[in-house]
Chain A
């Protein structure tokens, strides 16, 4: 990865030129991103403060490292999606408003929405009429920049993080951000929204974005309890479904395929007996201790004493312990519950949002400090309180993993989109469910492992229209090959422009072929390139130029054409007429031969006259007394009486050729 990337501080056209120049160096990229650096000299992406190379980022200034991290993240997206149109990202590093303890890290969105109306405008290939598209996707589908000069995505990142949070950006590419904030992760996440991983309808009113037109994202959002997609819902239905926790799924084929291949099996489920009204059981997993096993863990629910587990616990033998967030660390409370005999721990966090946006995670160095034998799961405070209220009357809890259900998907294999309650506060429907295992880039909260894998996100973008296309340089599912710009319909052995392999019949003579006339290849026409891309030759059962006959494999056999595709000078059989086939126009150059005015011509002409006196026309076998045989195309033919007393049957044409060619 080169650390040096061109930027365009001043003009968009300059950036595009720079990007096009970069394309040669990123031949495997399917989409090209252009960073349109709008920061002024000396600040943000142009900050000249010296910096030490870190985590693969070799930039020597803060500005250059920021730019490198930006381009690194965009290149990851560029390898994941396809577009023949460069995607322009307007980037800057301004100082955001922040306060001690709270600071925005970054924000992004599509700059605009595109659509066209049928009947008023000409058809736009690739764009579906009356459908709303984010700018970059519209360009990609149209195959052209629909708004030249305008950026496709706007992305801003905070240039003064450390002043409010006491920690700074980490500019390395390797995700080892430690206590700092991983810039690559934040860019990956936010640019994903800008590419179209975003719910457009108004979450407070339920209205579609514009003129009741759908968008590809909303079309794939499905409430699996009503089997209704969000684009066809009424506004009230949309509002209600937005809070249908763990029932909003993505039903696009690419994502469903990715779920089966990428998400881990063994979705954890929580059930209670007797049931508690209003309880979703929308749990999350901690990143310490074992996962919920397939073998059900069942026990009476017991509230810890103390409830935050910050002192020795007792009386939990055989129970599922309910513990609330305290000040002593979740992993410690889990250990105390385990020591006290609990089978599992339900941890109740501070957030009232169901399900919580994130689970508790600890960095690896802390996890190594101890081990846990029982699983801990997390619920929102709202759900925890429901459970706690039922303890007095007695409630049994069962935790079990469904080995056939993926973690982060519903039982039918469709990925959950994060839907939460209270609906109007948090349910933006623009992230995966944080339950997903492994962690994903577009979960609602950052995870410690700073994931880089875009498998699931790529699948979602493909579902909304970022499908791969031939010519992207990488063979996709339906392609035999793809060498990008090296695809050719004229070069031998090249991957063809339709992403099929070079083959006989494509009109190009490849290394394993003698000829290739595409659709003119023929196994019946004289002199044609054969359908196996071998040149016409003696023995292919077609009488080509220079041949008198061709019986294929039978050439040379008695009564057949000779091995040299010449009529045998004494083609005969002792008792029955011999046969040859005559196909096509087999002229052998009579005109040339006839110019030879030697004495043999006259001699042969005389012999012909003599022969004709002995002939019998053979239109009817009965008339000749010979066996019925097919002769070529039922041409007029004659029977010759041979010297040995046998007969041979020759068409007139061949007789004339013999006269011309042999003599």
Chain B
């Protein structure tokens, strides 16, 4: 899972680390780098995914992920084999998600159900990170 750093958390951690003296290398971290990461993450925070957006997206993308062969036909090729055109279904799809707190992850989904689960997981994270703990 690719995660863009939660900068407030990072500062907390680094502060804790320094107080405990457990990480001498922390002080060597260029502060400008951390500040830049914080600025970028703040800029990239997004609003939570709504149910309507989730349903619309699922409806648009799910057909490509269909894994049912019903309705597909085999046609004979000149070479003597049979060929079943998948009509751009049976695809595998990498989906990137940016959570409400700015964290990003990428997953490959292969079924409409898998896509739906991915979107619902994002909604759950968004709700929690926006303040409502489970």
Contact = CB atoms under 8 A, between A and B. Distances in A.
User: SS class of chain A's interface: helix, strand, loop or mixed?
Assistant: loop
B97 A328 contact: no
Contacts of A198: 90, 92, 110
A203 B67 contact: yes
A360 B1 contact: yes
Contacts of B129: 327
Nearest to B45: A166
Contacts, number: 269
Contacts of B119: 102
Interface string A199-226: 1101111010110000000000000000
Contacts of A314: none
B6 A327 contact: yes
B96 to A, nearest CB: 5
Nearest to B68: A202
A361 B1 contact: yes
Given A104-B61, A335-B16, A369 B10 contact: yes
Contacts of A238: none
A146 B81 contact: yes
B107 A358 contact: yes
Contacts of A127: 81
B83 A328 contact: no
A106 B10 CA distance: 31
Interface stretch (A185-193, A477-485, A536-544): A185-193
Interface string A61-77: 00000000000000000
A167 B29 CA distance: 25
B118 to A, nearest CB: 8
A109 B94 contact: no
Contacts of A357: 1, 107
Given A361-B3, A424-B113, A165 B104 contact: yes
Nearest to A201: B67
Interface string B92-134: 1111111111001111111101101101011011101100000
A447 B1 CA distance: 6
A365 interface: yes
Interface in B1-33: 1-6, 8-10, 12-14, 16-17, 20, 22-23, 25-26, 28-29, 33
A367 to B, nearest CB: 10
Interface stretch (A14-22, A425-433, A511-519, A626-634): A425-433
Contacts of B40: 179
B132 to A, nearest CB: 12
Contacts of B82: 114-117
Nearest to B99: A101
B47 A101 contact: yes
Contacts of A445: 1, 105-108
Nearest to B128: A350
Contact of A428 (B22, B46, B68, B111): B111
Interface in A565-589: none
Contacts of B56: 97, 99
B46 to A, nearest CB: 4
Contacts of A142: 79, 81
Given A97-B61, A101-B97, A445-B107, A350 B124 contact: yes
Given A154-B88, A209-B69, A332-B9, A430 B110 contact: yes
Given A210-B74, A365-B29, A368-B25, A108 B3 contact: no
A56 interface: no
Nearest to B41: A179
Contact of B10 (A114, A200, A353, A366): A366
B13 A329 contact: yes
Interface string A359-392: 1111101101111000000000000000000000
B8 to A, nearest CB: 8
A113 B128 CA distance: 44
A329 B9 contact: yes
Contact of B114 (A110, A327, A425): A425
A215 B28 CA distance: 55
Given A102-B97, A365-B33, A426-B117, A109 B88 contact: yes
Given A102-B98, A166-B44, 16 more contacts: A101-B97, A102-B57, A105-B106, A106-B93, A113-B84, A124-B79, A193-B92, A205-B68, A327-B128, A332-B12, A335-B20, A351-B121, A358-B105, A425-B111, A428-B110, A445-B1
Interface of B: 1-6, 8-10, 12-14, 16-17, 20, 22-23, 25-26, 28-29, 33, 37, 40, 43-44, 46-49, 53, 56-57, 60-61, 64, 67-69, 72, 74, 77-86, 88-101, 104-111, 113-114, 116-117, 119, 121-122, 124-126, 128-129
